[in-house]
A and B are shown apart, each in its own frame.
Chain A
Amino acid sequence: MKIICNGAKKEIQEDAILVDFLKSLDLDPDTVVVECDGEIIARKDYESQILVDGTKLELIRFVGGG
């Protein structure tokens, strides 16, 4: 199935979990803000949020330093 992540199509497994998808991109889930079909996802929901066909994700990743 396909999802759209930051504007680009991505082929992923059926019923993938958000946190696993983030890790597959080599991202630390704690450093990423996720908008899923227009909704900001609470951090505690990353482990339960299921990605369905056609889901539109917007990811903002942060790097350290300030």
Chain B
Amino acid sequence: MTNIPGKNELDAVLVERHSEEICLRLQRATVAVMGLGGLGSSVAVALVRIGVGKLLLADYDAVELSNLNRQYYFLDQLGLPKTEALQQNLARINPYLRIDLINRRLTEEMIPELFSDADVVVECFDDPIMKAAGLRAVLTAMPGVGYVGASGVAGYGENNIIQTRKIQDHIYLVGDFESAAEDGISLMAPRVGIAAHHQANQVLRILLGVDT
């Protein structure tokens, strides 16, 4: 393997691009990503690229061939837990960030316990029951923690009906709020990717204090 640049070199490049103030804020930030499918894997990649200091990544599933139409995994990772596979991929972008893995199925009750230290929780679940549970958990038991959920990201509908909607301070939802993944409508990389990057940008805006 070729020599990879050291931590100082990566940090310096990020400071040059983003400014010292922004880099410091992002280095100190902790973001939890719940669900590492089409949304979560792309959200995590975006956050690592900009140097978010600590990520908590949660998923209980393994990488399957059918995931590769939209998720940030590779053929040689089939069968690996998504948490481990994503950690490998993130380390190829920036190996100097802290990544904690939670390789289990989450419940509503576990969310406040596991993620109380997070500045922002990103809900990237597939299951609509867990999407509702995630929002309820943060609204009832995690005051002050930022939240960016998603609903309605399937298919190949118009780009511009994917929106970021503010529910209340620190709480945002992304999607068209209608396009479910069900009979005849599947999840595809382009539109899931639009929503994932809405989510990632909203996380950034919350971390930088642009949006309350």
Contact = CB atoms under 8 A, between A and B. Distances in A.
B139 A33 contact: yes
Interface stretch (A13-21, A49-57, A58-66): A58-66
Interface residues of A, number: 15
Contacts of B136: 33, 40, 42-43
A31 B133 CA distance: 8
A66 B38 contact: yes
A33 B131 CA distance: 9
Contacts of A43: 108, 132-133, 136
A66 B126 contact: yes
B132 A32 contact: yes
Given A40-B140, A43-B108, A60-B167, A65 B132 contact: no
A30 interface: yes
A61 B131 CA distance: 9
Interface residues of B, number: 36
B151 A62 contact: yes
A13 B152 CA distance: 32
B108 A31 contact: no
B180 interface: yes
B135 A31 contact: no
A32 B133 CA distance: 9
B153 A42 contact: no
A40 B167 CA distance: 13
B108 A64 contact: no
Interface string A24-52: 00001011110000001011000000000
Contacts of A32: 132
A28 to B, nearest CB: 8
B53 interface: no
Contacts of A64: 126-128, 131, 180-182
28 contacts: A28-B128, A28-B129, A31-B132, A33-B132, A33-B139, A40-B136, A40-B140, A43-B132, A43-B136, A60-B135, A62-B129, A62-B131, A62-B149, A62-B151, A63-B151, A63-B181, A64-B127, A64-B180, A64-B182, A65-B180, A65-B192, A66-B39, A66-B40, A66-B124, A66-B125, A66-B131, A66-B150, A66-B192
Given A33-B136, A65-B187, 19 more contacts: A28-B128, A30-B129, A31-B128, A32-B132, A43-B108, A43-B136, A61-B177, A62-B149, A62-B151, A63-B128, A63-B177, A63-B179, A63-B180, A64-B127, A66-B35, A66-B37, A66-B40, A66-B131, A66-B150
